[in-house]
Amino acid sequence: MSRHTPSMSVMVAAARKAARGLQRDFGEVENLQVSLKGPANFVTAADKKAEKVLFEELSKARPGYSFLMEEGGVVEGSDKSHRWIIDPLDGTTNFLHGIPMFAISIALERDGQLVAGLVYNPISDEMFIAEKGQGAFLNDRRIRVAVRRDLAQAVVATGIPHIGRPGHARFSAELGTVMNEVAGVRRMGSAALDLAYVAAGRFDAYWEAALAPWDMAAGIVLIREAGGFVADLKGGDAMLDSGGIVAGNDVLYRKLGDLLKKAHKQA
């Protein structure tokens, strides 16, 4: 069983409330697939609605905390030492296409340090939570990163830059190198869930470039508390600032990081 601090209880309650709206709206999206106009506007509204619920619930429970949110941007609170980092819907493309692989992601930062993370998939009802020093949990069961040390046996997740995003050539070079060394590469469409899956030992490792802080903040706490490691794509600690991240156990995050550096030299 996990021992929560009151802050985690607040995060869980807010996520569950926002999730109820997303569950309803996802059901609606599945119906809208057949209409020509498609569900795009509807999904934007669902996204904003979920963020509003999270903002209201967290503000009510912790007045004064600051926010960094995908939709609403920065909201400075009177309490400068605490900040929520939120993606109300990570995996928008999946949601839009009726693919049940998306999540709410909430992280709490205290004095510039990530201290708590929650990633919740409302469709599978999988709640991944972690607090600094307390371990990582999936629906109250302790989770740990996988123990495989050999890239040739590793299933590695990533994110592919889509239309209008930078980094296509660089990603092709990365994939070209990585796919020759690993058992399989997966692109699930939610960075938050990719990191949660690494924390749970489902994926052995993960990398992606050009992410935003709200895509990875919660997942980073999960990985660390599950005994794993994260770095930016240069092997440093600037994941949130650089947007690049590589994650895995102590051996694989390094091996994958080295492979990526090799790929970048060739690109």
Q: What does the binding site for ligand IPD look like in residue numbers (CB under 6 A)?
A: 87, 89-92, 159, 189-191, 208, 211, 215
Of 92 and 177, nearer to ligand IPD (C-beta) is 92
Cβ-proximal residue to ligand IPD, closest one = 159
Of 62 and 120, nearer to ligand IPD (C-beta) is 120
Question: Residue 195 interacts with Ca ion (CB under 5 A)?
Answer: no
From the CA atom positions of the chain, what is the Rg in Å?
18
Cβ-proximal residue to Ca ion, closest one = 90
Shortest distance (Å) from residue 123 CB to ligand IPD: 15
Choosing from 8, 53, 69, 89, the residue that interacts with Ca ion (CB under 5 A) is 89
From the list ligand IPD, Ca ion, none, which binds 109 (C-beta under 5 to 8 Å, kind-based)?
none
Choosing from 25, 51, 90, 109, the residue that interacts with Ca ion (CB under 5 A) is 90
What is the maximum alpha-carbon separation in the chain? 51
Q: Tell me, by CB under 5 A, how many residues bind Ca ion.
A: 5
- Subset of 134-153 contacting Ca ion (CB under 5 A): none
Of 69 and 182, nearer to Ca ion (C-beta) is 69
Question: Residue 70 interacts with Ca ion (CB under 5 A)?
Answer: yes
Taking contact as CB under 5 A, which single stretch among the options 6-14, 86-94, 148-156, 223-231 is the one that binds Ca ion?
Answer: 86-94
Of 90 and 232, nearer to Ca ion (C-beta) is 90
Shortest distance (Å) from residue 162 CB to Ca ion: 12
- CA 175 from chain centre, in angstroms, equals 20
From the list Ca ion, ligand IPD, none, which binds 158 (C-beta under 5 to 8 Å, kind-based)?
none
Shortest distance (Å) from residue 29 CB to ligand IPD: 14
Shortest distance (Å) from residue 215 CB to Ca ion: 4
The DSSP secondary structure of the chain, one letter per residue, reads -----HHHHHHHHHHHHHHHHHHHHHHHHHHHTTSSS-SHHHHHHHHHHHHHHHHHHHHHHSTTEEEEETTTEEE--SEEEEEEEEEEEE-HHHHHTT-S--EEEEEEEETTEEEEEEEEETTTTEEEEEETTTEEEETTEEE-------GGG-EEEE----TT-S-HHHHHHHHHHHTTTSSEEE--S-HHHHHHHHHTTSSSEEEESS--HHHHHHHHHHHHHTT-EEE-TTSSS-HHHH--EEEESTTHHHHHHHHHHHHHHH-
156, exposed or middle or buried, with CB in 10 Å at 0-12, 13-18, 19+?
A: buried
Q: Which residues bind Ca ion (CB under 5 A)?
A: 70, 87, 89-90, 215
